Structure 1
Amino acid sequence: MSRPMEVRTRGSLRSRGAATVSSLTLRQLSAVLPPDQAWGLWTSRQIVARVMDTFGPSLRGVDVEPVDARLPDGRRLVGEWVRAAGATADGAAIYYVHGSGYALCSPRTHRRLTGWLSRLTGLPVFSVDYRLAPRHRFPAAATDVRSGWDWLLHHGHEPHRIVVAGDSAGGHLSVDLALQPDTAHPAGLVLFSPLMDLTFGLARAREELRRDPAIRAADATRLLELYCAGTPLDHPRLTLDVAGGRVLPPTLVQAGGGEMLVSDARKLAADIRAAGGTCDLQIWPDQVHVFQALPRLSPEARPAMYGVANFISDALRTNTIREATG
């Protein structure tokens, strides 16, 4: 069984400086922008998109193919294929589920990250464009993520040749997908700073020790309420029973040591192991939320992403051998 990986050195000077700047800007803005008002939500979306574009990796050599399709049962599927030059077409793929509180982001905001993932792995990446809150509340996002998975399988992608990846709320949606009893398991899961405790109880406890440089737990809670309003948080599709549920496929969890969701990452890893699964947990010191998407701010993003590429390669190779040997 995999043991957790804790990187015990300090974060780079540049990444620590970026966290300080974030605490003086993004953290303050998130406290005053009302997510329940259209102008506040629009402004938050613009800020996140600008940060991702400014500090994300290059899009050079990346092709994007929009998808707007219907499944045989009539469900609509919207998303995009992201392919770096030289990406293979042998059936293997990455299914990406973006995050940001079920309300802020899209495949467009995450395109630099998914393009980088395609370059590093040599695989095409399908990024699902699930419906966002507050217009679309629970379980709209989870339904669309399942539709994306079913669409991939309908178009000839075998489960054991797919790795599911997600960040933040997308991590929650990815785990929810894998826990469903009628979902064929992918080769593996890659989760960046996964949000698991939707009450933010773990995050609040972490805040007492170290404040998140990007957002307060109270402000994140207000954002989440746009999606969960009217549904109790103890609903089994919101409070996921990982420890008591299906054994998940091999999982890599990466989180930043400077963010409040680091406790969620640790709890998820422990629950995966308690259920009998394997999980590689990596806590990168002093890093902000989903630092992997911001290599121009964090030098640690590159080694972290190289580790992701290696994990994906190993997971696909192991599953291919297992399927071949029966």
Structure 2
Amino acid sequence: MPTISRSESARTSLRSRAFSSATFASRPLMSALGTGAISRPHLLTAARPGLNASLSLLSPVPRGTITTQVVESTPSGQVRGEWIHQRDPLVSGVPDPRSGASIVYYLHGSGYVICSPRTHRGLVSRLIRRTGIGAFVLDYRLGPEHRWPAAGDDTVRGYRWLLDRGFSASQIIVAGDSAGGHLALDLLAANHRDGVEQPRAMALFSPLYDPTFGLARNLEKLGVRDPIIDVRGAQRFLGLYTAGADPLDPRMRITLPPDLTPPPTLIQVGGREIMADDSRTLHRRLLDAGGTSTLQVWPGQGHVFQMFPYFTRESHDAVREAAAFIADHATIPS
């Protein structure tokens, strides 16, 4: 399947260039927060609500969005998250598996230490509103309060909770960004190991593939400057979750065996990302495992640019294409 690069000759939108300049200037603050949180983890815990509130303001929620909170105990532990839906406001908004309609199982990113379903509500709402299907956004455990592989365990538990509720694997489309892409891979590997059917499709934004950031470090050495994140800050944040974990553990450096048969996948990545090679490598791994994958490279864009519709026109275009991919693989309610 193809690698698609949006025309390199096309000018990046003015809004996008201005946003990149502003966010690039804020990177030292984020790096300093990561540095302080290593020695004083409570610093990040205290700062998280403010960081999440700021991100929520930058990623507005469309009118008509319905949310239903979930906190449910299962034999293997608790499932937390929220349903997001755009239709039938006279009922709870929770999709009924008996309808046969597809749903999105969304795994948010941000280094396993910040963000939540609330910060990503705007992005997920924009992603599903064109299709009329619902989404369940997982509220997985974060570092430094919880350590690896807590988030991966929650991801597997959430998927099997959906199956237990009556959704078939063919109704579930997994989507996620950044660390959520890494969680999606962990889910595929767990399903393969345990003989659980894989989801219908996947849509990933700037997915993390290499938690050591070796691929990202090489790009940064070549002069790539991501307007959103830098390697040092990203390593420090992720280390609050993965500290002490073996970087070669199969749940850290996830491999996709040839007999896994991954679902059809769309990967979107910004052309200015230090994690662009993570997306390229994952694209190749999916093809090597016998899957189909389309990689879209969006010139001039930084990490998970899809979250910021106020500041980059390309966010609208990318989300529209991702929504079309989801619609192509979904069963849409009548």
- Is the 2:270–2:299 contact (alpha carbons within 8 Å) kept by the matching residues of 1? yes
Give 1:270's aligned residue.
284
Residue 199 of structure 1 pairs with residue 212 of structure 2: yes
Give 1:248's aligned residue.
262
Query: What RMSD, in angstroms, separates the aligned Cα atoms of the two structures?
Result: 1.9
Give 1:84's aligned residue.
86
Selected match of 1:114 from 93, 114, 124: 124
Give 2:200's aligned residue.
187
Give 1:156's aligned residue.
166
Partner Cα separation in structure 1 for residue 240 and residue 57 of structure 2: 27
Partner Cα separation in structure 2 for residue 121 and residue 93 of structure 1: 10
Give 1:35's aligned residue.
37
Give 1:261's aligned residue.
275
State the 1:75 CA deviation: 2.0
Partner Cα separation in structure 1 for residue 177 and residue 273 of structure 2: 13
Q: Which amino acid aligns with 2:248?
A: D
Q: Which amino acid aligns with 1:224?
A: L
Alpha-carbon distance change, 153 to 244 in structure 1, aligned in 2, over 3 angstroms: same
Partner Cα separation in structure 2 for residue 43 and residue 217 of structure 1: 23
Higher mean C-alpha displacement, 8-17 vs 184-193: 8-17
Partner Cα separation in structure 1 for residue 41 and residue 310 of structure 2: 31
Q: Which amino acid aligns with 1:75?
A: G
Question: What are the Cα deviations for residues 240-267 of structure 1, in whole angstroms up to 9, with x where unaligned?
Answer: 1136562210000001111211111111
Gaps spanning 5+ residues in structure 2: where? none
Alpha-carbon distance change, 313 to 254 in structure 1, aligned in 2, over 3 angstroms: same
Question: What are the Cα deviations for residues 169-188 of structure 1, in whole angstroms up to 9, with x where unaligned?
Answer: 01100111012212311110
Question: What are the Cα deviations for residues 168-210 of structure 1, in whole angstroms up to 9, with x where unaligned?
Answer: 0011001110122123111101100001111101101111221
Selected match of 2:55 from 45, 52, 65: 52
Residue 177 of structure 1 pairs with residue 187 of structure 2: yes
State the 1:52 CA deviation: 2.5
Report matched runs for 1:1-326 at 5 Å: 2-8=1-7, 9-25=10-26, 27-33=27-33, 34-36=36-38, 37-38=40-41, 40-42=43-45, 45-46=48-49, 48-71=51-74, 73-86=75-88, 89=96, 90=99, 91-180=101-190, 181=192, 182=194, 183-208=196-221, 209-242=223-256, 244=258, 246-316=260-330
Alpha-carbon distance change, 239 to 92 in structure 1, aligned in 2, over 3 angstroms: same
Calculate percent identity across the aligned residue pairs.
40
- Is the 2:70–2:83 contact (alpha carbons within 8 Å) kept by the matching residues of 1? yes
State the 1:53 CA deviation: 2.1
State the 1:118 CA deviation: 2.6
Alpha-carbon distance change, 298 to 47 in structure 1, aligned in 2, over 3 angstroms: farther
Q: Which amino acid aligns with 1:29?
A: L
Q: Which amino acid aligns with 2:67?
A: V
Gaps spanning 5+ residues in structure 1: where? 319-326
Question: What are the Cα deviations for residues 113-166 of structure 1, in whole angstroms up to 9, with x where unaligned?
Answer: 122223122111101111111111111100101111011011111100110001
Question: What are the Cα deviations for residues 244-302 of structure 1, in whole angstroms up to 9, with x where unaligned?
Answer: 56221000000111121111111110111122211010011111211111100111111
State the 1:50 CA deviation: 3.7
Alpha-carbon distance change, 53 to 128 in structure 1, aligned in 2, over 3 angstroms: same
- Is the 1:193–1:290 contact (alpha carbons within 8 Å) kept by the matching residues of 2? yes
Q: TM-score under structure 1 normalisation?
A: 0.91
